[in-house]
Amino acid sequence: MLHCGIVGLPLSGKTTIFNVITRAGAEVKPYAGGRTDPNRAVVGVPDGRFDRLVDVHVPKKETPAQVEFVDLAGLSRGAGKGEGLGNAFLSFVADADALIHVIRCFDNAGVPHPEGSVDPLRDLEILELELIFRDLSVVENRLGKLRSKKKLLPEESAEKGLLERCLDRLTGEKPIRGLDMTQEEARFLRGFAFVTSKPQIIALNMDESQPGLSSLPNWDTLRRSIEERGLSMVGIYGRLEMDLLDLSPEEAAEFTEGLSIDEPARDRLISEAYRTLGLISFFTCGPDEVRAWTLRDGENAVDAAGAIHSDLARGFIRAVVVSYDDYTENGDSMANCRDAGVLRQEGKDYRVRDGDIIEIRFNV
Ligand SMILES: Nc1nc2c(ncn2[C@@H]2O[C@H](COP(=O)(O)OP(=O)(O)OP(=O)(O)O)[C@@H](O)[C@H]2O)c(=O)[nH]1
Ligand SMILES: [Mg+2]
């Protein structure tokens, strides 16, 4: 299963936000511990379309799409150069498919800030630089090997050219993420598990005393820096939302009065993570089970069949497909959809779209 790693400086609220997302109840401490083993939990992806399909079909079993979240230990200055426990932490980061970068915006005298003061933009840059240093050491290592060879094979010269472009970006203190490259080059680079090429979401962890993102000091500069990096961001009241998990909706409403919480940050973060991971959902519906299945955006009807069962991919004949909107507009019934002419018979190469409702015809 694809997973999203939660990264950030020590004591930025990573475990708190992990608990908000996963309701796992992991231990939250006011002082950074030397822990390296990450907390992990799988969560159902909130999806109004799925909830509606469950309401309509009242199935015996309901299975939402799932993503795993991993709460990593804090990364400190110097981690990217292998100092302290840097290497151990960074190998967990390298394993993740996408990152949620938690940045501390809350002030809390009881929780020391590793840099001595609250400054979100500085913290963003520190972590980014550590990740850049880590990738730089991977690139330099490999380039060193290629450069010491007397004669390079054609594919090795191509690799050298590509890595030199990565080197240029990294020495310019830019992440590999923004490098202009072909799909083939991107696929090749995946083998290096570069941490600065991973999709990233910025989670700004605020305090109840901060009524919204725009109340943060230097908000305009911070927003511009995040936008320039092409990253999406979510504001979250980490500690407050963790405390809300134990309350009834009425009690929670009282607590959140005056704060800019329209939708819980939990749902937004999970949906954003799902999208950032490049995932889409298709649905299967029946009296036994309503289920959301996960594909990578771009996968086809046979991949959809294979997600359900390898037999369905092996004996694939065709997929019977209707979009979510057409389905709901036609009484949530495949038969009605057929009569209305919105049901489609699709072959192996059909590129599945987010929200498709699918039945696989197969023969084994
Ligand atoms: N005031 C306030 N305190 C918070 C907030 N989020 C987290 N904290 C506190 O900050 C401390 C550290 O929180 P954690 O979630 O453990 O932080 P962490 O980033 O996981 O820390 P390490 O894993 O040790 O690096 C705890 O005492 C939290 O209660 C917040 O939004 N506001
Ligand atoms: Mg933690």
Look up the pTM and report it. Answer: 0.89
Give the Cα separation of 319 and 322 in Å (integer). Answer: 10
pLDDT at 85 over 60: no
- Predicted confidence at residue 262, as pLDDT, reads 60
pLDDT digits 0-9 by tens, 3-41: 999 999 999 999 999 999 998 888 887 666 665 678 999
pLDDT at 203 over 60: yes
Ligand nearest to the backbone CA of 10: 1
Nearest to 134 by CA among 101, 73, 175, 186: 175
Give the Cα separation of 224 and 202 in Å (integer). Answer: 13
- For ligand 1, mutation pick of 239, 242, 261, 269 (most atoms within 8 Å of CB): 239
Atom in ligand 1 nearest the alpha carbon of residue 12: 19
Any residues with Cβ below 6 Å from ligand 1, and which?
Answer: 8, 10-16, 28-30, 32-33, 73-74, 106, 108, 111, 205, 207, 237-239
Mean pLDDT calculated for residue range 340-351: 96
CATH 3.40.50.300 segments of the chain: 3-276
pLDDT at 253 over 90: no
* Distance of CA 168 from the midpoint of ligand 2 (Å): 34
- Predicted confidence at residue 92, as pLDDT, reads 87
- Predicted confidence at residue 261, as pLDDT, reads 65
Give the Cα separation of 81 and 21 in Å (integer). Answer: 31
CATH 3.10.20.30 segments of the chain: 298-362
pLDDT at 300 over 90: yes
Give the Cα separation of 94 and 91 in Å (integer). Answer: 5
Give the Cα separation of 203 and 127 in Å (integer). Answer: 13
Ligand nearest to the backbone CA of 205: 1
- For ligand 1, mutation pick of 11, 14, 77, 215 (most atoms within 8 Å of CB): 11
- Token look-up 């990578």 returns 296
pLDDT at 79 over 90: no
Q: Is 188 left (phi over 0), alpha (psi -120 to 50) or beta?
A: alpha
* Distance of CA 319 from the midpoint of ligand 2 (Å): 45
Atom in ligand 1 nearest the alpha carbon of residue 27: 16
pLDDT at 311 over 60: yes
- Predicted confidence at residue 56, as pLDDT, reads 95
**Phi, psi (rounded to 5 degrees) for 140:** -65, -40
> pLDDT category, 104, cuts 50, 70, 90?
very high
Q: Which of 10-14, 175-179, 211-215, 354-358 has the lowest mean pLDDT?
A: 211-215
Atom in ligand 1 nearest the alpha carbon of residue 74: 25
Atom in ligand 1 nearest the alpha carbon of residue 73: 23
- Predicted confidence at residue 86, as pLDDT, reads 62
pLDDT at 338 over 70: yes
pLDDT digits 0-9 by tens, 205-251: 999 888 888 888 889 999 999 999 999 999 999 998 898 888 887 88
CB–CB of 189/162 below 8 Å?
Answer: yes
User: What's the CATH number for 3-276?
Assistant: 3.40.50.300
- Predicted confidence at residue 87, as pLDDT, reads 67
Mean pLDDT calculated for residue range 252-258: 76
- Average pLDDT of the chain? 90
Sign of CA dihedral 200, 203, 226, 278: positive
Ligand nearest to the backbone CA of 207: 1
Q: DSSP character for 82?
A: T
Mean pLDDT calculated for residue range 154-178: 95
* Distance of CA 74 from the midpoint of ligand 2 (Å): 7
- Predicted confidence at residue 354, as pLDDT, reads 96
Give one DSSP letter per residue of 187-222, joined into a string: HHHHTT--GGGS-EEEEEE--TTS-SGGGSTTHHHH
CATH T-level assignment (fold) for domain 298-362: Ubiquitin-like (UB roll) (3.10.20)
pLDDT digits 0-9 by tens, 275-287: 999 999 999 999 9
- Predicted confidence at residue 252, as pLDDT, reads 80
What percent of the chain clears pLDDT 70, i.e. is strictly above it? 94
Beta-bridge partner residues of 202: 101, 233
- For ligand 1, mutation pick of 21, 27, 29 (most atoms within 8 Å of CB): 29
- Predicted confidence at residue 33, as pLDDT, reads 61
